[in-house]
Amino acid sequence: MTPAQVDAVVAEAREWLRTPYVHMGRLKGIGVDCGMLLIEVYGNALGIEKPNVGNYTSDWYMHRDEPLYLGWLGKYAERMPKGVAGEPGDIAVFNFGRHPAHGGIVVEPGLMIHAYKPHGNVELAEVRMLDHRLDSYWRVTT
C-alpha cells in the first residue's frame, strides 16, 4: 500500500472505535465482528470489493477443518514471513480454536484496532495482549 492508503486505512479503522461487537454485523457505530471490521475498513478506505462471506456461526473456528478466515484474507493480502513485525495498515492474525480466526488492524507499531467479543466492542489494544495467540501478520496487496 502507498503511504496515503495506509493513512486512509488507519483513519477508517479509528472511526470504528467503540462500535459494539455484534456477530456478522457490519455497521459503523451499530455493530461489527472482527472479520466484518476488516472487510468494511479496507473496503471503505481502499475501495476494495467487499466480499459476501455468507452466514457463519459465532464459533465456526472450533468445528471446521478449513481455515475460513485465511481463505477470505488470502484474496486480498499476503502472509508476511515469521519474525516480520506488523506495520500500520497490516493485519495481525491470531489463532483461536483450530486455526487462525481473529484479526486486528495495526495502526501503530505494537497497537491494533480489533472487534473483540470478550471486551464487547471495537477497541484500541496492544498486539501483545494476544501475543500468545499471534499467528502472523498479513499485508494487503491491493
Checking if the pLDDT of 38 tops 70, the result is: yes
- The third-level CATH classification (topology) of the domain covering 3-140 is endopeptidase fold (from Nostoc punctiforme) (3.90.1720)
84-105 residue pLDDT tens: 999 999 999 998 776 777 899 9
Cβ within 8 Å of residue 98, ≥6 positions away: 61, 62, 64, 65, 67
In the chain, what are the domain boundaries? 3-140
Q: Write the CA distances from 74 to 56, 88, 125, integer angstroms.
A: 18, 19, 24
51-79 residue pLDDT tens: 777 666 566 555 556 666 666 777 889 99
93-140 residue pLDDT tens: 998 776 777 899 999 999 999 999 889 999 999 999 998 899 999 999
